[in-house]
Amino acid sequence: MGSQPEVPNGATASRPVLFFDIDNCLYPRSTKVHDLMADLIDRYFATHLGLPEEEAIKLHQEYYKNYGLAIEGLVRHHQIDPLDYNAKVDDALPLENIIKKNPKLRELLEDIDTSKVKLWLLTNAYVTHGRRVVKLLGIEDLFEGLTYCDYSKIPIICKPHKDMFAKAMKEAGVERMEDCYFVDDSYANAESAEKLGWTSVHLVEEGLPVPGTPASKYQIRHLEELRGIMPQFFKSSNQV
């Protein structure tokens, strides 16, 4: 799996692309990785900005809401080193104790016919975190590439900004919006992709409240439901 491969030529380039978010999408939110990450981010805000805990939490949430990533607010307003942030937040997570190989997820992904669609990762995390997660899940070999939020480049571009989706299309070698399929647990990300013309699927994990207004045309509780939404891409759906 490459991070920024060259755009392929020939027939391969004509394949549609199915983009998967990583965190809280390829593994469930119930693993509490998100909560652990939020605690580390709050601690980072408090330590590096000299804020009381309550103010650190409030500012973290404000930046997340305004920019899609807390790190963007830190870089934009406080000149924080984003790679230092990544080392002390994402890369500091004890993922090896939490995320395990998921045979059912692998079975689902292996049933996707990659002669018909390209599998690609699209995450707001930095490359180290993204690769670490899919390796722990035991699925890193099933994706042809990874588009990640590059913390080393300023300004930081991330979902739901349209430039992040444009970056993903360029790196995955797809030109038409209608050839882009996308799964994400974030309402804002799913909504943004839909508005751009992608086929967007909002994953709302079982137990979480269903949005009053859907983020996109498709909304699912489990990744297995993708079989019904995109049967043309699954081997088992096309067996005679």
pLDDT digits (tens, 9 = 90+) for 75-132: 999 999 999 999 999 999 999 999 999 999 999 999 999 999 999 999 999 999 999 9
pLDDT digits (tens, 9 = 90+) for 156-168: 999 999 999 999 9
Give residue 2's pLDDT. 52
Terminal Cα-to-Cα distance of the chain (whole angstroms): 32
CA 108, 225, 138 angle in degrees (round to 5)? 25
If phi over 0 gives left and psi between -120 and 50 gives alpha, with beta otherwise, what is residue 68? Answer: left
Give residue 29's pLDDT. 92
**Which of 100, 177, 112 is closest to 144 using CA atoms?**
112
Give residue 5's pLDDT. 43
Give residue 68's pLDDT. 83
Backbone angles phi, psi at 182, to 5 degrees: -150, 135
Instruction: Tell me the CB-side half-sphere exposure of residue 23, using CA atoms within 13 A.
Output: 21
Give residue 7's pLDDT. 41
Give residue 221's pLDDT. 98
Which structure tokens are listed for 82?
């984003």
Low-confidence ranges of the chain (pLDDT < 70): 1-13, 239-240
Cis peptide bond N-terminal to 160, omega within 30: yes
Give residue 139's pLDDT. 98
